[in-house]
């Protein structure tokens, strides 16, 4: 902490104020209207230009003015990203900054992500004479449903960016430590639905119908065998089914069943194979029972795979401002949790890092927990990581 930039440490009270405002006023995915308005108001005060992406996303731009920057440096561009949406989770912790909105909570730390990127924006704007090139800042909506990053990609406004960088708070990591790890970090997140069509009949005469419930139950069972028998045990995959509905009453053969689940994988190839396998198993199993299926898949997120070059740079700059490599984690098992930062990685190589926020029992609750909180001393660390990574790339 003693090696953080003085100007960033001086921002700590402002960072806390911003974070607590967002925490008290959470908004769900694609409805972050007040959040976006607050972000854009702050950017206006900082005299930073921006454009609205979709309805609630914001893309800001800061152009470096370093006089002695060479042509290569002036042409470089970097995207820094923070997600802004909250969760439909009650806030049960007792603090003076608890959520004011019943049933909504920044239980994933996006309030801190947003405050930290605003802090980085202020520092970079105030010090734009120290670098050449362009820094784009994405305040991204709808990460929790995998619908935000693709709006930035589809806008075309970040085409040609050279690198992408993002941060996530981590209550499993102690305060004062940072993760900068190469390779797979987060699994893909696909949401599939299977609608089974059968034929109604009286349950006393089942041969006159086609039981969609029985067909659906067998589909659920057979899908469980894909990972256990058709995937290398060393290849991390999860196929989970969380919803199964069928039938209208006890004495009617069901003519419809509805199944919804998720696929998580660490590589693009495995992800694609699993989607195809689930659809094939559903169709073939339904056929055995005389039923038919309609299969749909929604890609919420691709796997997050950090590039080695960017991970090493992130680890190096983090070690410099944290006071040594002992404060940087460079090896760890990946998480099956998904994040649509992966969509940004389809445009350019990058790093998705994690910042420790755990210093007590109150800051040890996991992400998405109704008592999630974080140690706000992590906020200037997050800002410094954004800034150090950006300058480390632009000025190299």
pTM for the model: 0.93
Q: Which CATH number is 6-185+304-394's, of 3.20.20.70, 3.40.630.10, 3.20.20.120, 1.10.530.10?
A: 3.40.630.10
Q: Dihedral, CA atoms, 211, 214, 217, 222, nearest 10 degrees? A: -100
Spell out the alpha helix ranges (H) of 231-364.
268-288, 308-322, 341-344
> Cα-flanking dihedrals φ and ψ of residue 65, to 5°?
-125, 20
- For residue 77 the two structure tokens come to 């561009």
- One DSSP character per residue, 226-270 reads HHHHHS-TTS-EEEEEEEEEE-SSTTEE-SEEEEEEEEEESSHHH
- One DSSP character per residue, 132-196 reads -SEEEEEEE--GGGT-SHHHHHHHSTTTT-SEEEEEEEEEEEETT-EE---EEEE--EEEEEEEE
Question: Do 186 and 305 touch, CB atoms closer than 8 A?
Answer: no
CATH class of 189-301: alpha beta
Q: Establish whether 143 is a catalytic residue.
A: yes
Of 143, 343, 373, 375, the catalytic one is 143
Residue 296's nearest CA partner among 283, 309, 307, 314 is 283
Give residue limits of the domains in the chain. Answer: 6-185+304-394, 189-301
- For residue 263 the two structure tokens come to 């696929």
Residue 16's nearest CA partner among 115, 126, 117 is 115
pLDDT of residue 2: 59
Q: What is the pLDDT along the chain (396 residues), one digit of tens a residue?
A: 558 999 999 999 999 999 999 999 999 999 999 999 999 999 999 999 999 999 999 999 999 999 999 999 999 999 999 999 999 999 999 999 999 999 999 999 999 999 999 999 999 999 999 999 999 999 999 999 999 999 999 999 999 999 999 999 999 999 999 999 999 999 999 999 999 999 999 999 999 999 999 999 999 999 999 999 999 999 999 999 999 999 999 999 999 999 999 999 999 999 999 999 999 999 999 999 999 999 999 999 999 999 999 999 999 999 999 999 999 999 999 999 999 999 999 999 999 999 999 999 999 999 999 999 999 999 999 999 999 999 999 998
Question: How many residues are listed for the chain in this entry?
Answer: 396
pLDDT of residue 396: 83
Pairing, β 163-174 against β 350-358 = parallel
Of 32, 85, 144, 340, the catalytic one is 85
Q: Establish whether 85 is a catalytic residue.
A: yes
Residue 130's nearest CA partner among 45, 73, 50 is 73
Question: Do 139 and 51 touch, CB atoms closer than 8 A?
Answer: no
Question: Do 304 and 186 touch, CB atoms closer than 8 A?
Answer: yes
């Amino acid at each position: 902490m003693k090696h953080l930039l003085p100007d960033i440490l001086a921002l700590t009270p402002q960072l806390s104020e911003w974070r607590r405002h967002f925490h008290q006023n959470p908004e769900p995915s694609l409805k972050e209207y007040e959040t976006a308005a607050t972000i854009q108001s702050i950017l206006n005060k900082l005299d930073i230009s921006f454009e609205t992406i979709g309805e609630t996303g914001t893309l800001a731009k800061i152009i470096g003015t370093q006089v002695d920057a060479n042509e290569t440096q002036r042409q470089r561009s970097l995207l820094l990203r923070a997600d802004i949406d909250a969760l439909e989770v009650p806030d049960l912790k007792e603090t003076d900054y608890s959520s004011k909105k019943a049933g909504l909570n920044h239980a994933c730390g996006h309030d801190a992500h947003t405050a930290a990127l605003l802090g980085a924006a202020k520092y970079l704007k105030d010090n734009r004479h120290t670098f050449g090139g362009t820094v784009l800042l994405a305040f991204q909506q709808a990460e929790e449903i995998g619908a935000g990053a693709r709006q930035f990609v589809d806008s075309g406004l970040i085409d040609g960016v050279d690198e992408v960088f993002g941060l996530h708070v981590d209550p499993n990591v102690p305060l004062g430590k940072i993760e900068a790890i190469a390779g797979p970090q987060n699994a893909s997140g696909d949401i599939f639905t299977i609608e089974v069509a059968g034929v109604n009949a009286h349950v006393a005469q089942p041969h006159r119908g086609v039981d969609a419930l029985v067909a659906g139950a067998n589909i659920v069972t057979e899908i469980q065998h894909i990972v256990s028998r058709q995937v290398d045990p060393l290849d991390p995959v999860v196929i989970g089914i969380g919803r199964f509905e069928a039938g209208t009453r006890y004495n009617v053969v069901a003519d419809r069943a509805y199944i919804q689940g998720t696929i998580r994988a660490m590589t693009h190839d495995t992800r694609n194979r699993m989607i195809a396998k689930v659809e094939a198993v559903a169709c073939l199993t339904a056929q055995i029972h005389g039923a038919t299926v309609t299969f749909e898949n929604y890609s919420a997120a691709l796997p997050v795979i950090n590039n080695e070059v960017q991970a090493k740079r992130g680890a190096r700059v983090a070690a410099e401002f944290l006071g040594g490599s002992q404060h940087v984690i460079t090896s760890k098992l990946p998480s099956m949790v998904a994040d649509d930062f992966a969509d940004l990685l389809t445009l350019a190589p990058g790093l998705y890092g994690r910042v420790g926020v755990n210093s007590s029992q109150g800051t040890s609750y996991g992400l998405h927990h109704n008592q999630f909180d974080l140690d706000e001393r992590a906020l200037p660390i997050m800002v410094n990581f954004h800034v150090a990574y950006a300058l480390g790339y632009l000025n190299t």
